[in-house]
Amino acid sequence: MRNCLNIYLITTLLCFTGALSVYGQEDTKQPISGSQIYSVYDPNAPTQKQNSLQLGLQYYRNQEYDKSASVFGSLYEDDPTHTNYTYYLYSLIGKKDFRDAEKLVKKQIRNFPGNVRYQIDLGYLYVTLGEVKKGRKVYRDAIESLPADQRTIKDLANSFVGKRENDLAMETYIKGRELLQGTYGFENELAALYYRMEQFEKMVETYLSLAENDVTKISYVQNRLQYYMSNDTDGSIHEALRSQLLKSVQKNPDERFFADFLLWLAIQEKDYEMALRQAKALDKRFDQTGNIVFNIATLSTSANRFSVAEEAFQYILKNYEGDPIYESSLSGYAHSSFMNYKLLSNELKTERKEEMRIQLEDAVEGVSTANIAIRNYRDLAEFYCFYDFNPERGIEILNTILEDRLVKSSYKQEVKLDLADIYLFSGDPWEATLLLSQVEKANKNEPIGHEAKLRNARLSYYIGEYGWAEGQLDILKAATSKLIANDAMNLYLFISENKDNDTLSPALDVFAQAELLVFRRLYTKATALLDSLYNVSSAHPIADDILYKKGEIAVLQGDDILADSLFSMVHEYFPKSILADDAIMQQIHIAKRQNNEQKAASLNEKILFDYPASIFAVEARQEFRAWLEEKRAQETIPLPQMEQ
C-alpha cells in the first residue's frame, strides 16, 4: 500500500509542477526542480530497474542532466510510462538536446495520439527553441480540434496552465463549455484560473454564478472564497466580492441568494454593523421571524461587540413581543446594555446608574426561565457589588441562585466564581479561596476548573504566598485554554522576576497589595502605595510595572491626561521593558478617545520602527497605512512606501 502511495505521490507532484498536467494548477518556470522529486519504490519491479530509477532521480536532483538523460532514456525504452517520459524529456531539455527532445515528444504523440498533453509538450518545446509561431500553431490546432469530452478539455487546459499559457487555458475552458452545451460549465476551473491571473472581479462573478445556479455548491464556493480571502493581503478579493454583492443586491432586491451571501461576507469580515443592517433587511423582506437578527446579536455578543448586540436585541424586543425568542432577547439586551455600561466614563456611569439598575432588575423579573435569567442575575450581582458598592446585596442574589434546584450545576460553578470575586472585593479572601477551591475540585480537567485555579493562584499572590502561587501557575502553563495558559505564564514570570529572595520580597509585597486594592476599587489607596513604592524602588525591576499600573488606575479613574503621561514614562524610561509596547498601545487608545488621530498615527509608527516584533505590529501597520491613505486623499500628497 505504501509503495502505491509513493508512486501516487510522485505522479501527483509532477501534475502540480506542470510536467504532468492531468489536473495540475501550479506555475513552473522550470518544468521540474530537483527539490520536487519523491522516491518511487516498487517491490515487484526488478532490482536493477529500481536502482536505475533511484540513480536517475539522484542525477536529476543534482541537475546532472547528461547522466539523468542517459538513465531515463534507457528506462523509457524499456517501459515508456508517462513518468519515465517526463523525466527523460526534461533531462534532455536541461542538457539542451532539443533535437532528441523533439523526437521523443513526437514518438509519444504517435504512441498516444489521443493525449493532448503531448501536443502541448511539442508546442512548448518549439516556443522554448524560439520557434514561437510554430509552437503557437500547435497550441491553436489542439484547441480547434477539441472533442466534446470533459476530461480531454480539462487535460488540455491544465497543460496550458502548466506552461504558463493562462489565456489559452481560459480559451480552452470557454470553448469546452460551448462543446458540452450546458452539461458542464467549468465554473470552478475558470474561477481558479481567474484567481491565478489576479482577475478577481471575474473570479468572484464566476463563483457567485456557480453557487446561484446550484445551491448545493454554496458551501463549497464560500469555503473557496474564504480560503482566498485569508491570503488576500491587500484586500482586493474582499473588495471585489463586496462590490459585486452590493450591486447584485441592489439589482435583484427580491432575490434572497445575494442578500444571504452579503450577510455571510459581513460575518467573515467581522463587520457586525453591516451584518446587522443586512440581517434586518433580510428579516423584513424574507424571514419575518427575528431569528437572523437574533443570530447576529448572539455573534456580536460572543465577539464583545456589545453595541451591535444591544441594537439587535432591541430590534427583536420591538418587533417580536410574545415570540419564542423574546425572552432570550430580553435577557441578551440587558446583558449587552450592562457590558456597554461598564465601558462608560465614570461620569456617565454615575449619571446612568439608576437606569442600569432598573433595566437589570426588570430583566430578572421578566425572564421566567431560570437558566436563561442566570446571566442577568450575575450581572445584577456584579452591578450591586462593583458599581453600587453594595456587596451584601450581590452576595444575597448569588446565594439565591445557588439554592435554586432548577439552575444547572455548570451555571452554579460560574456563580461561585462570581461570589468569590465579591468576597475578595469585600475583604474576605478566605471565603473567596474556599469557593474557588470547591470549583477547582469539582472541575479538575475542565476550563472552569483551570479558571478557578488561576484565580486562587492570583489570590495567593495578593496575600504574599508566592511559592504556592508559582506552583499552581506552573501547572496552568500547560492548560488547554490559551488565554488561561498565557495569563498563568505572565503572572508566573512577573512573580519570579520581581522576588528579591526566597524569604523577603518587600517591593513585590507592596505591589501585590496595591493590585488587590485596585481590584477592590480603592484607587486612591492603591495609588498612594505605588507612589511610596516608586520613591524607594525606582531602580528595582518592578519600577516599570509601577508606572504602568498607575497608568491603568488613571484610566479607571477617567484621567486620560495623567494616564497618557504615565504610559509615556514607561517606554521613555524603560524602552526595553516588556511593557513598553503595551504602554504605547494604551496611549493609542487614549488618543483615539480624544479624537487625536495625528498622535495615534505617530504612536503606531513608533511601534513599527521601535518595536517591529511586537504583537501589536500588524495592527499598528494597518492603522498607520489607513491614516496615510486618508491623509493622502485629503491633501493629495505622495504615499510613502511601507515595509512589508
How much of the chain exceeds pLDDT 90, in percent? 74
- 369 CB contacts (<8 Å, ≥6 apart)? 327
CA angle, 297 as apex, 292 and 301 as ends, to 5°? 150
Q: Please give the pLDDT value at position 32.
A: 41
Long-range interactions of 430-433: CB distance < 8 A, separation 24+: 432/459, 433/459, 433/460
Phi-psi region of 596 (alpha: psi -120 to 50; beta: other; left: phi over 0): beta
List the single range of 130-144, 228-242, 369-383 with lowest mean pLDDT. 228-242
Express as a percent the part of the chain with pLDDT over 70.
Answer: 90
> What local confidence, expressed as pLDDT, does residue 167 receive?
95
Contact indicator for 156, 120 with CB cutoff of 8 Å: yes
Residue at 37 is within a domain: no
Question: Cβ(109)–Cβ(122) under 8 Å?
Answer: yes
pLDDT tops 90 at residue 170? yes
Residue 431, number of CB atoms within 10 A of its CB: 16
CA distance 618 to 626: 12
Question: How many CB atoms within 10 Å of residue 349?
Answer: 15
CA 229/CA 247 separation, integer angstroms: 20
Q: Are 510 and 527 in contact (CB under 8 A)?
A: no
pLDDT of residue 287: 80
Specify the pLDDT at position 481. 87
Cβ atoms of 580 and 568 within 8 Å: the answer is no
**What is the dihedral sign for C-alpha 203, 208, 213, 215?**
positive
pLDDT at 126 over 70: yes
In a domain, 191, yes or no: no
Q: How many CB atoms lie within 10 A of CB 135?
A: 21
Distance CA 558, CA 319 (A): 38
Average pLDDT of the segment spanning 337-349: 92
pLDDT tops 50 at residue 272 = yes
Q: In whole angstroms, what is the distance from residue 644 CA to residue 642 CA?
A: 6
What residues contact residue 311 under an 8 Å CB cut-off, 6+ apart? Answer: 276
Q: Taking residues 4-10, report their average pLDDT.
A: 35
How many CB atoms are located within 10 Å of the residue 382 CB? 21
At 30-42, the pLDDT tens digits run 444 443 333 344 4
- 250 located within any domain: no
Distance of alpha carbon 32 from alpha carbon 88, whole angstroms: 11
CATH of the domain at 567: 1.25.40.10
Residue 255 has which C-alpha cell? 432575490
Over the stretch 552-582, which tens digit does the pLDDT of each residue have? 999 999 999 999 999 999 999 999 999 999 9
How much is the mean pLDDT over the chain?
Answer: 88
Indicate whether 580 belongs to any domain: yes
Where in the sequence is the domain holding 611, given as residue range(s)? 526-635
Residue 218: inside a domain, yes or no?
no
Grid cell at residue 450: 483551570
Number of domains in the chain: 1
Closest CA to 461 of 384, 516, 395: 516
Task: Confirm whether 357 is domain-assigned.
Answer: no
Structure confidence by residue, pLDDT tens digits, 177-197 = 999 998 999 999 999 999 999
The verdict on residue 564 lying in a domain is yes
pLDDT for the residue 122: 94
Indicate whether 614 belongs to any domain: yes
Q: How far is CA 434 from CA 390, 429, 431, 456, 562, in A?
A: 22, 9, 5, 9, 38
> Tens of pLDDT along 49-88?
778 888 988 989 899 999 999 998 999 898 888 888 989 9
